[in-house]
Structure 1
Amino acid sequence: MTAGSSNASPQAFAFRVLSRDGAARRGLVSTPRGEIRTPAFMPVGTAATVKAMFPQDVRATGADIVLGNVYHLMLRPGAERVAALGGLHDFMNWPHPILTDSGGFQVMSLAKLRKLDEQGVAFQSHIDGSRHLLTPERSMEIQRLLDSDIHMQLDECVRLPCTEQEAERAMRLSLRWAERSRKAFGDQTGKAIFGIVQGGETPALRVESARALAAMDFHGLAIGGLAVGEPQEVMLAMLETVMPHLPESKPRYLMGVGTPDDIVQSVARGVDMFDCVMPTRAGRHGLAYTRFGRVNLRNARHAGDPAPLDAESPCESARIYSRAYLHHLMKAGEILGMMLLTEINVAYYQQLMAGLRGAIEAGRLADFIGATKEGWARGEGARS
């Protein structure tokens, strides 16, 4: 079998909680393509690539799983083409687990001339203006063609703030689409489908959504429609509202989150899985995430600084390149600068998740979070 082969032994998708510290859980998701240690952060590989990183380097940071996206892949190169080329794992040379987002959020945020109804959402591509119809059934078909390990139901995600009436309409439509998505997914050995809790910032709607989805036999449940403009306290309040209504035996995924602080606060409330473009996007724009907080390498203060970002980081790139060199690369527009900072950021996020897992196992999560926040508070002028 070649290194990038997507062949996988048939076995059931499974999740088990290994240890707890308060509401926080350390667990293990088992798939035919490998295990996912939770809490887990999934680097975003929207269009079959984690931007500015080689797949083997993504793996070397400690990532067990990456995310791909139905909307982007259906438009380019096309799900049928990916299937003909052996599936998404072979196509991008990532033989490990992949979760695919259903495309609903991107349709709402990127597509032109959207028209949404009970059937699905008709839209024009932001790339070439071509017309498409994305239904729950078509989203499941695309994810099956891509051969991802975890599928997501098609849902409607509304931006916050919105009216309670708008949140209720979108939540109920998403529940009907959840039923259709679950039926279209069927019974695929070794694969999983997650439902998505919606309901805006209205507790009663969130609870209704969570309870209805919990009864639909999904393999995991996600919390969607957060980190879309609301304050952190609203996000955390919605998590605290929803968590008691999600099955203990299934993984919980907070979609599109987020900053390191969002992550540690959400882990403490029982979330198992995360994804966000933040570490890769920040890296391409000169921002580094470190145990000392964010460092803006475009800032002139770094121009003559021979110190590395973090001399004690497990990530070699954070140890061996000076801040002055990274500053130079970004000011010069050199691609290497974007690559190095993206690697450093993804590695930091994975180090944070490993630290959270270890702290939960040791029963010292509060101490770990306190020490982590103290490090961030030192600011970008800190030195190891």
Structure 2
Amino acid sequence: MQFDLLSQDPESKARAGKITTDHGVIETPIFMPVGTVATVKGVHQRELKNDINPDIILGNTYHLYLRPQTPILQKAGGLHKFMNWDRNILTDSGGYQVYSLSANRKIKEEGVKFKSHIDGSYHVFTPENVMEIQRTIGADIIMAFDECTPYPCDYQYAKRSMHMTHRWLDRCMQHLDKIPVTYGYDQAFFPIVQGSTYKDLRKQSAEYIANAGAVGNAIGGLSVGEPAEEMYEMTEVVTAILPEDKPRYLMGVGTPINILENIALGVDMFDCVMPTRNGRNGMLFTAHGTINIKNKKWEDDFSPIDDMGITYVDIEYSKAYLKHLFSVNEMLGRQIASIHNLGFYLWLVREARKHILAGDFNSWKNKMVKQMDKRL
């Protein structure tokens, strides 16, 4: 993997760059649609490619390990072939899912024993076997196995967890050196900064991760319930330390406003289930605010979803039609809303990139934050 830093905004830390892998170019800043179980939920690959057109999507190691299971993915020739996706894929390590299964898992130095949410069977994730699983899945970018701490989190727990995440990182890297790539193309490995919302821990972790010398770095353990201002504060601490010549990935973030504010702090990559999850529940994002399409006020509004002249995908539908689809519980409504929201998120990061390259990102960002912080 190669990262080229092309431009930085003069009034913020926002960056425009280019990541090149064996599956193509990723222009940054980038939002990665979440394809948890080998699909971006409710969106056909045709729409994903033609309407949303992301350079990269995300797969989930925990879920893919459980279903369809790694032997099936290996027989298929990896996740790209299994889901008929010829562009980039990033897989997380399962650390976040282990965090979310707090009632059904036990964390030890060796790894994590957890109970499947599907059938109650027990499984173990270690730094070593998570590397093997991600080799078999075959993503272009793979993540270190970490523990994602909850919010709020006791300082001593956060400190112990951070040091264990660092020890797990060392084990990941040692094991990864021993196992060859599976499908003939390279996999880039990103370690993950932890430390909860404690500045001194975040600083320690960022220094440890920077010293690991990986080709890219991730920031984990945020967007887990902390106030947005604490998220930004921790991101700023970490991006001041992580190398400028390598991409920075803020995991699980977030709202459109979160994304713009973190781009301004020097983050290059984002993912979140919000566009599709909120879309399935009738919340639409636009450059001028959010819409609850289920509200009665839209039933005779025949204007486009964003009636300010901005289109996010090739096919536009009226608010009245989309409200009707939700009213009759038609699955097409949830699909259109998901495609619209993903199209908006990709439009937003691409507009951010244009303004970084033009040198006026910060003023544009401030205007956009005000516009988007409305309910229409």
TM-score range with shorter-chain normalisation? over 0.9
Which blocks of at least 5 consecutive residues in structure 2 are unaligned?
A: none
Kept in 1: contact 2:151–2:224 (CA 8 A): yes
Corresponding residue number in structure 1 for 2:304:
308
Match of 1:226 among 222, 226, 241: 222
| Partner amino acid, structure 2, of 1:354 | R
Question: Which of 16, 28, 36 is residue 18 of structure 2 equivalent to?
Answer: 28
* Corresponding residue to 2:245 among 249, 260, 282: 249
Is contact 1:305–1:324 with CA below 8 Å preserved after alignment? yes
Contact 2:60 2:93 in 1 (8 A): yes
Off by >6 Å, runs of 4+ in structure 1? none
Of residues 42, 47, 51, the one that matches 1:57 is: 47
Q: 1:119 aligns with which of 89, 93, 110?
A: 110
Deviation at 1:377, TM superposition (A): 4.8
CA distance in 2, matches of 1:65, 1:223: 18
Aligned AA for 1:315? Y
- Once the 2 structures are TM-superposed, how far is the Cα of residue 317 of structure 1 from its aligned partner? 6.2
CA distance in 1, matches of 2:357, 2:83: 34
| Correspondence 1:316-331 to 2 at 5 A | 316=313, 319=316, 321-331=317-327
Whether the 8 Å contact between 1:154 and 1:181 is mirrored in structure 2 is yes
Query: Cα deviations across residues 322-370 of structure 1 (Å, max 9, x unaligned)?
Result: 1111111112211000000000000000000110000000000012113
Does the Cα contact within 8 Å between 1:158 and 1:170 map onto a contact in 2?
yes
Q: What residue number does 2:7 align with?
A: 19
Partner residue of 1:45? 35
Q: How does 1:304-383 map to 2 (within 5 A)?
A: 304-311=300-307, 312-316=309-313, 319=316, 321-377=317-373, 379-380=375-376
**2:277 pairs with 1:281:** yes
Structure 2 Cα separation of the partners of residues 113 and 40 of structure 1: 34
Over the aligned positions, Cα root-mean-square deviation in angstroms equals: 1.4
> Cα distance, 1:62 vs. partner?
3.0
Q: Secondary structure at the match of 2:249?
A: strand
AA aligned to 1:84 is K
Q: CA separation in 1, counterparts of 2:150 and 2:284?
A: 28
Residues 176 and 220 of structure 1: CA distance in aligned 2, closer, same or farther (over 3 Å): same
Contact 2:99–2:150 (CA under 8 A) maintained in structure 1: no
Give the CA deviation at 1:112.
Answer: 5.5
% same residue:
46
| Distance across 2 between alignment mates of 1:264 and 1:219 | 24
Worse overlay, 334-343 or 308-317: 308-317
Moved more, 50-59 or 91-100: 50-59
Distance 1:153 1:378, change over 3 A: closer
Distance 1:370 1:198 in 2: 29
TM-score (normalizing by structure 1): 0.93
1:211 aligns with 2:211: no
Give me the whole-angstrom Cα distance separating, in 2, the residues matched to 1:378 and 1:224: 28
Q: Conserved in 2, the CA contact under 8 Å of 1:309 and 1:318?
A: no
Structure-1 separation of matches of 2:20 and 2:328: 44
* Deviation digits for residues 69-128 of structure 1 (CA, Å, limit 9, x no counterpart): 110000011012111111100111111010000011112213763111011001110001
After TM superposition, give the deviation of residue 215 of structure 1 in Å. Answer: 1.2
1:132 aligned partner, one-letter code: H
The amino acid of 1:339's aligned partner reads Q
Q: Which letter maps to 1:349?
A: Y
Find the counterpart in structure 2 of residue 8 from structure 1.
none
1:272 alignment counterpart: 268
Distance 1:138 1:126 in 2: 20
Q: Give the structure 1 partner of residue 159 of structure 2.
A: 168
The Cα shift of 1:232 comes to: 0.5
| CA spacing shift, 1:62–1:50, aligned 2, 3 Å | same
Find the aligned partners of 2:77 and 2:360 in 1 and give their Cα distance: 44
Higher relative contact order (CA closer than 8 Å, sequence separation 6+):
2
List alignment gaps of at least 5 residues for structure 1: 1-12
* Residue 192 (structure 1) shift: 0.5
Structure 1: how far apart are the matches of 2:2 and 2:373?
Answer: 39
Distance of 1:46 and 1:316 partners within structure 2: 22
Are the aligned partners of 2:313 and 2:343 in contact in 1 as well (CA < 8 Å)? no
Corresponding residue SS for 1:282: helix
- Between stretches 110-119 and 292-301, larger displacement belongs to 110-119
Indicate the SS of the match to 1:245: coil
Contact 2:312 2:347 in 1 (8 A): no
* Residue 371 of structure 1, CA deviation: 2.8
Quote the offset at 1:237 in angstroms: 0.5
Equivalent residue for 1:150, pick from 127, 141, 148: 141
Secondary structure (helix, strand or coil) at the match of 1:126 reads coil
CA distance in 2, matches of 1:44, 1:279: 9
Partner of 2:191, secondary structure, is strand
Q: Structure 1 pair 377/211, CA: closer, same or farther in 2 (3 Å)?
A: closer
> Aligned-pair distance for 1:235?
0.4
